């Protein structure tokens, strides 16, 4: 029998009663599902304001003018609200009709990183562990996560099969980031073939090996997304994590045009993902979607390419979510500051698991 009956209040009470259950004990499983999506290094400036004209201008070479740039013609509008809807129309329809988004500092809502490094591995580790480990996680080196992640814990606590907790990522480092015990969950990351005979997958395997990106151990997001969808529709995971990359790497390369195209393409992937989730009887109405990023970047046309502890603004991030057990709030205004340290406990709470019981220092679930 399902114990969750559809209101945020019910869910909160239900999670509280589970607070005393210790690690390793099975929890009552209400059959909900979660999808976590990260968009690497996606700045709050683009998420909430769309195209940044100062940055675009700084990347153009004479005689090209701002007004004649195809990027400007595609994404420019007078107000921030119009520009963000031109860049990510689906995200904005999702958060205004079905969910919430926090992190718009101009509206009195901030989301900050808890870690002090402001680059990828520490950022993703914070998301998946619920707390920073600044002294232990200090590089993007391919070392196995020193701590058990929320993905591994959900598999154990809900007695899920390996295929039911799956990560698809463009960057190969996710093989190390998402789990402490190698092989504890299903991971397909970097230019890695997917062992699935489903429609299109052999062709995707072939194409990703030939379509080299300018970046080491990283594939284009299209392969990550298509493979994730193939796994979603056939293996039907309860916990799915999709980690997109291109918004970060094109920015590092100074290609603002490609960076914005990556935002728009990712938005299309989110639309396709959501549409499928809402069309499937097992996922519709019981799937919680959370979208966030691992770090921000510099705020100006001189430092937007970069991030890291010395780059002001790289600590500013955002969190969007749509949960059938939480009230729809749209864009948050004048709200308490959130942290990406709250993601792990939030994801766990949606699955009926109290992350803070075993991780008292971790961020608390978003309410
Ligand atoms: Zn990153």
Q: Write the CATH number for 173.
A: 3.40.720.10
Give 28's pLDDT tier (boundaries 50, 70, 90): low
Give Cα separations from 294 to 116, 198, 337, 347, 367 (angstroms).
12, 31, 17, 16, 21
Q: What is the pLDDT of residue 322?
A: 97
Residue 295 CA to ligand 1 centre (angstroms):
6
Residue 103 CA to ligand 1 centre (angstroms):
17
Residue 104 CA to ligand 1 centre (angstroms):
20
Q: Is 145:182 a contact under the CB 8 Å cutoff?
A: no
Mean pLDDT within 66-71: 97
Task: Judge whether 1 lies within some domain.
Answer: no
Strand extents, DSSP E, the chain: 33-39, 100-102, 111-112, 165-169, 186-189, 239-244, 287-292, 316-317, 319-322, 330-331, 338-339
Residue 122 CA to ligand 1 centre (angstroms):
9
Q: What are phi and psi of 79, to 5 degrees?
A: -100, 155
Mean pLDDT within 94-105: 97
Mean pLDDT within 281-291: 97
Q: What is the pLDDT of residue 100?
A: 98
Q: Return d(Cα 125, Cα 362) in angstroms, integer.
A: 12
Residue 306 CA to ligand 1 centre (angstroms):
10
Task: Judge whether 367 lies within some domain.
Answer: no
User: Percent of the chain scored above 70 by pLDDT?
Assistant: 92
Residue 308 CA to ligand 1 centre (angstroms):
9
Residue found by looking up tokens 């959900």 in the block: 154
Task: Judge whether 228 lies within some domain.
Answer: yes
Mean pLDDT within 57-63: 95
Q: Return d(Cα 168, Cα 226) in angstroms, integer.
A: 10
| pLDDT of 136 above 90 | yes
Q: What is the pLDDT of residue 26?
A: 53
Q: What are phi and psi of 332, to 5 degrees?
A: -70, 140
Give 30's pLDDT tier (boundaries 50, 70, 90): confident
Residue 84 CA to ligand 1 centre (angstroms):
21
Q: What is the pLDDT of residue 199?
A: 82
| pLDDT of 68 above 60 | yes
Task: Judge whether 82 lies within some domain.
Answer: yes
Residue 340 CA to ligand 1 centre (angstroms):
14
pTM equals: 0.93
Mean pLDDT within 73-86: 98
Give 17's pLDDT tier (boundaries 50, 70, 90): very low
Task: Judge whether 364 lies within some domain.
Answer: no
Domain span at residue 353 reads: 8-358
For 18-22, 47-51, 139-143, 254-258, which range has the lowest pLDDT when averaged over its residues? Answer: 18-22
Give 206's pLDDT tier (boundaries 50, 70, 90): very high
Q: What is the pLDDT of residue 198?
A: 85
Residue 244 CA to ligand 1 centre (angstroms):
10
Task: Judge whether 2 lies within some domain.
Answer: no
Task: Judge whether 160 lies within some domain.
Answer: yes
Q: Is 263:247 a contact under the CB 8 Å cutoff?
A: yes
Residue 320 CA to ligand 1 centre (angstroms):
18
Q: What is the pLDDT of residue 175?
A: 98
Give Cα separations from 116 to 161, 308, 315 (angstroms).
35, 8, 8
Domain count, the chain: 1
Residue 119 CA to ligand 1 centre (angstroms):
5
Q: What is the pLDDT of residue 354?
A: 97
- Element holding 311 (H helix, E strand): none
Mean pLDDT within 99-125: 98
Residue 329 CA to ligand 1 centre (angstroms):
28
Q: What is the pLDDT of residue 197?
A: 87
Q: What is the pLDDT of residues 153-163, one digit of tens each?
A: 999 999 999 99
Task: Judge whether 198 lies within some domain.
Answer: yes
């Amino acid at each position: 029998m399902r114990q969750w009956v559809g209101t945020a209040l019910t869910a909160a009470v239900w999670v509280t009663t589970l607070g005393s259950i210790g690690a390793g004990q099975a929890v009552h499983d209400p059959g909900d599902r979660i999808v976590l999506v990260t968009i690497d290094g996606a700045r709050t400036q683009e998420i909430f304001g769309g195209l940044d004209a100062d940055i675009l201008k700084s990347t153009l070479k004479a005689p090209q003018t701002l007004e004649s740039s195809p990027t400007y013609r595609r994404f420019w509008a007078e107000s921030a609200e119009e520009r963000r809807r031109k860049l990510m129309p689906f995200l904005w329809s999702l958060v205004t009709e079905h969910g919430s988004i926090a992190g718009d500092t101009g509206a009195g809502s901030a989301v900050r990183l808890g870690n002090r490094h402001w680059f990828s591995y520490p950022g993703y580790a914070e998301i998946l562990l619920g707390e920073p480990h600044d002294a232990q996680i200090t590089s993007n080196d391919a070392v196995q996560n020193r701590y058990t992640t929320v993905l591994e814990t959900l598999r154990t606590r809900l007695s899920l099969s390996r295929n039911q907790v799956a990560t698809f990522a463009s960057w190969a480092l996710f093989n190390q980031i998402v789990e402490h015990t190698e092989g504890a969950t299903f991971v397909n990351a970097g230019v890695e073939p997917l062992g699935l005979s489903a429609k299109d997958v052999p062709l995707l395997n072939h194409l990703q090996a030939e379509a080299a990106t300018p970046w080491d151990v990283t594939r284009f997001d299209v392969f990550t997304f298509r493979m994730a969808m193939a796994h979603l529709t056939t293996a039907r995971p309860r916990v799915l994590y999709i980690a997109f990359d291109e918004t970060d790497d094109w920015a590092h390369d100074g290609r603002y045009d490609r960076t914005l195209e990556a935002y728009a393409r990712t938005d299309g992937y989110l639309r396709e993902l959501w549409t499928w989730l809402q069309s499937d009887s097992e996922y519709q109405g019981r799937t919680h979607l959370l979208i966030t990023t691992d770090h921000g970047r510099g705020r100006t046309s001189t430092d937007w390419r970069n991030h890291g502890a010395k780059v002001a603004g790289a600590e500013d991030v955002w969190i969007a979510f749509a949960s059938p057990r939480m009230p729809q709030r749209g864009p948050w205004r004048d709200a308490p500051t959130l942290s990406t340290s709250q993601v792990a406990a939030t994801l766990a709470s949606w699955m009926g698991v109290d992350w803070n019981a075993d991780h008292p220092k971790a961020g608390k679930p978003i309410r």
